Structure 1
Amino acid sequence: RRQFLITRIYAPKAWWFGFCSSVYSIAGLWAGAALAIYAAMIEHKNVAVF
């Protein structure tokens, strides 16, 4: 726990990079899930989506 606090205080850019990377990853996960649901709903009526 002490090492995490030291890193957070003395290397805030590393924490921001990790935070932004996590947000980007989660956004990609939800976008992929939304695209999969949308593709299942249109049932190949519009193949140009892919």
Structure 2
Amino acid sequence: MDDWRKRLVDCLEADAHAKVTELQDQLQSWILWELEYRDSALDSLLKAYGPA
């Protein structure tokens, strides 16, 4: 996940919108997979990325 964040920040700084969209799609796929296949996924996601 840390590598994913670094790549996203690098793309945002480089104004590489197509790559940002690709990385966002990748994250969405990971989240949906976790929610579908792991019982504790929602709790884990909320702990890691709770509402501001």
Give the TM-score category using the shorter length. 0.3 to 0.5
Scaled by the length of structure 2, the TM-score of the pair is 0.47
Max Rg structure: 1
| Structure having the larger proportion of residues in helix | 1
State TM-score, norm by structure 1. 0.48
